[in-house]
Chain A
């Protein structure tokens, strides 16, 4: 065993990220690490990579625990990590990035030995089947090529253990195959790999062993020959269903005119021919793997742009039966669309502002006469909402950045509840939210639906998706591949549809 992880535990405040997790990786082994979002995979990699310390438990690399004291020590000992989030400098060349901080120098004349760098990097690019030269600026590479460069960087450290976090998330299929081939060659020569992925096909292609993490615990660890797809999915998702979800008391009136309807909405490169409708009072879940295009659809409806939109948005959006052109958030808000974005810190909240200020933000006009804010009205709204949502805060004048994750998320919801929406889009409403607050948020969403709001729920948390939705749509590679009634949908059927879509859908390479 090159790496032995035994019973490690890691807490962040009251949140338990890892609880008694064990993992053994042998030389020449590809060890797949799978699990839902938030299962603890990333925390585990950070601990192995020396970026975090475990609170309890033993961890040793080649028999020594010293190797994991810091990222630099881990790297020096031979642990190299390819992160999911790209870690390259746009303004340096591929070669410059691969050797950043450890540039070879020329023996006699000093300075950077560009020739040696180019030679070494080109060898890796050759091996990985990359089409771009070592002298290209990283800022000019496509996402897939950047990912390949990142993998090349991980390999160029000549590691003994390579950790890859979703390495193929934005990699073109051809490139992914090359990467696998190289990994097979290197593992045959003794390299150990921890391979984190959502794509089960890759697990069976590549891995020798697989470990499933679920809610920060080991759910399964077995040689690949002893598990099958179904068993893996079951281990990932099967959990005691907690009574988090409020009962569906009212049947949505699907005969009524839909509150939101999409007809053949297409954004080339992101999603294709997406059509569905949501009745007033209905909660429609949009499931699928990360990168399947779910968030893009939601953002397109709200008028929030992708970074590179090369082609026009085609198709029709109807709100309450009337055609609606997504011109931007302002017009969407005016038409009664609310949007709880994926990343509350980056996009949902003004962290430095108070609870009251944040709640008031989408409805400032209503709280003002002739542009002058009515302080009483503003406070009243904020106090009403904090009370209704049971937001735990010292007061409405407290800074939002000081609240806990669950209460922050409630403030984001309060923004839109205070305004009142015809259509509410929730993009991953509960990551990092504790169970109690989750249950409260679910109750709110259900209540909102019962009052006639149409809700579009995007979630990677399958119990949440199934427990809350009246109907579940599954997206894969930018297309809707399945529509399941709440009664008929199970975690297995959603995952199956998503994974099947990955393999069969002719759709887009990657919609991330």
Chain B
């Protein structure tokens, strides 16, 4: 009964719980921020926000793909950390090593993603624990690899991918925008993307329609890992060093960005434009706390509160049968 009532009520209204709501929230937040702090709309500050948002945006895009197909990947933060240390160590200040180092981390990321995907999609392990174990293993590997000390082998040329400017805009923003366009294309315009959505919406119906459910599900984890590697590269270029804890926190923030952006936990619904809004909401809030000169401990409290509140308010339940 109530289902029918809800159907009638829902049809004509625009979807206010999805991506659109997140953009509205972001806009409101920006207005509030500009009132609270006169520095907020300063060009340098806005570019700074963009620079900060770029790695989170890239990793959140990959995370969104995994969540869309009904999974979760908590190893992305560790993959980012690993990327920063491996790329800076292998590069070791030699410009000719930039490309081999980048290729190496991409291969590493792909391997991690394939293992995660295989375990979840074929062996049937729980995605959370599986990627948690991957996180522990990768973090340990990064520690062993660096013996715990930060690595400083990034060449100035490499750092340009974050610090360089094109038309006055940081290069990393272009990378993030490219990742967004690519992600939008594969999710919205390809057989693969359509299958990802269908999988998260109803795995059984997708399977009975003759789709390769296991393969596509596994490939989502591969995508998440590769996006995390790219995010790690942007992060390394921004902070200028490789550190085993560089990426910690990104797993939580990427998941929060996706959920705040209207992607349903459990899969099937969501738009990556919402994820970008989620990323910007988080970064603007962090930035605002910074601008207001709040102590760093308070910043952390606000971060946590923002994530809990945002996710509690914006979370949508996945649509399931009956």
Point out residues on A near B: beta carbons under 8 Å: 12-13, 302, 304, 329-330, 332-334, 339, 341, 343, 345-353, 357, 360-362, 364-365, 368, 371-373, 375, 394, 401-402, 415
Contact = CB atoms under 8 A, between A and B. Distances in A.
A330 B197 contact: no
Given A350-B201, A353-B268, A329 B190 contact: no
Contacts of B10: 402
B194 A352 contact: no
A350 B318 CA distance: 11
B293 interface: no
B96 to A, nearest CB: 35
A353 B197 CA distance: 8
Given A350-B198, A350-B268, A401 B190 contact: no
Contact of A348 (B205, B264, B319): B205
B6 to A, nearest CB: 9
Interface string B278-318: 00000000000000000000000000000000000000001
Closest 6 CB pairs of A and B: A333-B210, A345-B321, A352-B319, A350-B201, A346-B321, A361-B209
B191 A361 contact: no
Nearest to B193: A373
Nearest to A337: B210
B254 to A, nearest CB: 22
23 contacts: A13-B1, A304-B208, A330-B211, A330-B212, A346-B322, A347-B202, A347-B205, A349-B202, A350-B197, A350-B198, A350-B202, A350-B205, A350-B268, A351-B201, A352-B268, A353-B268, A361-B205, A361-B209, A362-B210, A372-B191, A373-B191, A402-B11, A415-B209
B189 A372 contact: yes
A101 B10 CA distance: 37
Nearest to A350: B201
Contacts of A341: 208
Contacts of B192: 371
Contacts of A360: 194
A364 B191 contact: yes
B4 interface: yes
A37 to B, nearest CB: 17
Interface of B: 1, 4, 7, 10-11, 189-192, 194-195, 197-198, 201-202, 204-212, 264, 268-269, 318-322
A375 B189 contact: yes
A379 B278 CA distance: 31
A353 B198 contact: yes
B189 A373 contact: yes
Interface centre among B1, B194, B204, B211 (most CB of A within 10 A): B194
A357 B193 CA distance: 11
A278 B189 CA distance: 39
A334 B196 CA distance: 21
Nearest to A401: B319
A326 to B, nearest CB: 13
Contact of A351 (B197, B202, B211): B202
A302 B195 CA distance: 20
B321 A330 contact: no
Contact of B4 (A13, A361, A372): A13
A365 B191 CA distance: 7
Contacts of A347: 202, 204-205, 208, 321
Given A330-B212, A332-B210, A352 B269 contact: yes
Nearest to B322: A345
A357 B198 CA distance: 8
Given A345-B321, A345-B322, A373-B190, A329 B205 contact: no
Given A361-B194, A401-B319, A402-B11, 6 more contacts: A350-B202, A350-B206, A352-B269, A357-B194, A362-B210, A373-B191
A333 B213 CA distance: 14
A352 B195 contact: no
A351 B321 contact: yes
Contacts of A353: 197-198, 201, 268
A329 B207 CA distance: 7
A437 to B, nearest CB: 16
A349 B7 CA distance: 17
